Amino acid sequence: MRVWVVAVLSAMLTVGAAAQERVVPQSSAQVQLSYAPVVSRVAPAVVNVYTARVVRQAVNPFFQQFFGQGATRNRVEQSLGSGVIVRADGIVITNNHVVSGAQDIKVSLTDRREYQAKVLLADARTDLAVLKIDPGRETLPALQFGDSDRVQVGDLVLAIGDPFGVGQTVTSGIVSALARSNGGASDYQFFIQTDAAINPGNSGGALVTMDGKLIGINSSIVSASGGNIGIGFAIPVNMVRIVVDGALGGGIKRPWLGTDGQAVTAEIARTVGLPRPEGVLLSQVYPRSPAAQAGLRRGDVLLAIDGFEIPDSNALRYRVVTHRPGDTVIVKFYREGAMHDVSVRVALPSDEGRAETTIGDGNPLQGARVANITPALADEMQIDMMATGTVVLGVTNGSQAERFGFQQGDVIRQINGERIANVAQLRRALDTADAWRISLQRGDQTLNLTVR
């Protein structure tokens, strides 16, 4: 298809550059050009994903609203999404939001075969889920992974899924943009944007190239009405590959550089001496992290990883997390008027010294599960990687900690004026007092609690 398009463009430049002529097809084969060969090859691997879950619902909302109580009953909520078979033995990829909370999941193929599915891995951070169906001795149709790093703006693509439950639908378009950072609920905001029509129900479906390879999982759209307006987003297949490998190999392993920073603005570029705004200005480099060991430091501007430009922190995280721990990447950076290249061996963030424990009776934090903040835990909970101290991982139902309103992610800063640096110090501060003035950080807020 691309060869023919190039030939036509070439003919247009040769024949009709001056006049407003139109180039007609030169053969019957060109007249009959169609996406049908690609669709017939890839569509059987795109499936419907049906989910159901049981929820409690008030029988009479009037009593629930005004009296806070009333009879309830079970109601089955059903939803529909799409998925892609990526291995012939029954491995299916879809969006996490398609199956989140589901108690029953079924996968239906285009030939109406239907299978019960189980979740091998559901990863809210990437908004991806890996399902397994059992085809017995049958070999299922499966899509081959492409390379989303080779995709270019303007490439022709097809989006395949089941919008609004009308049945499998194929739409065509182009890659409208790359590295978009406003495309959905994923922690890794790095999406392929397309104008191929995507609607509700397409979530989890396939974005494929003209050679029939999977380059993305359709995930979300921008729309005021809920329908397609030509701005759709797909999770790049290089991220999908990492999640599938994690589901089949003991969990997702997310390497890090150990840096944080901000996109370089025009003002920052002038300040540091860059000729144009580009890259990420490092505001933090974690001690003993891969970046620190490679010699990177605060104030450096990261420009590229393995030749791929780094326009913002989202791109930086994506370029690192799509590698495997132990891989070596080439980082191009700017420092004090000069460009440099350095090899960095990415690794898993350290979880040493986590010291996870549950607080016992006799204090306001009874029933809270707490731990020391490690780089791995900071990454897991999406809190400041340079943070130190003790964080609440969860609270037991009915516990004192729940009663006093402690929540997952609360960082305990002080008790009775004493700074809390670790779990051991927290336990001592709780056990040696009969009244507590607790200061904690919740997001951007500082909260204080006094218990006597």
The rounded distance, in Å, linking the Cα atoms of 52 and 193 is 30
List the helix and strand counts (H, then E) for the chain.
12, 26
- Strands of the sheet with 46-58, listed across from one edge: 114-116, 104-108, 46-58, 72-87, 91-95, 128-132, 118-123
Single out the catalytic residue among 79, 82, 97, 195.
97
Active-site choice (127, 162, 312, 410): 127
Given 79, 148, 176, 203, which residue is catalytic? 203
Place of tokens 């989140």: 100
Q: Which two three-digit tokens encode residue 158? A: 């097809």
127 is catalytic: yes
In the residue annotation, 134 being an active-site residue is answered as no
Instruction: Write the CA distances from 38 to 42, 294, 377, integer angstroms.
Output: 6, 46, 44
The token duo for 144 is 């081959």
Alpha carbons 110 and 206: distance in angstroms, whole number? 14
Handedness of CA 74, 75, 81, 87 (dihedral sign): positive
Q: Is there a catalytic annotation at residue 341?
A: no
Residue with tokens 């070439």: 10
Place of tokens 């463009």: 9
- 3-state SS, residue 26: coil
Is 126:254 a contact under the CB 8 Å cutoff?
A: no
The 3 state secondary structure assigned to 266-299 is HHHHHHHCCCCCCCEEEEEECCCCHHHHCCCCCC
Could you give the residue numbers annotated as active site?
97, 127, 203
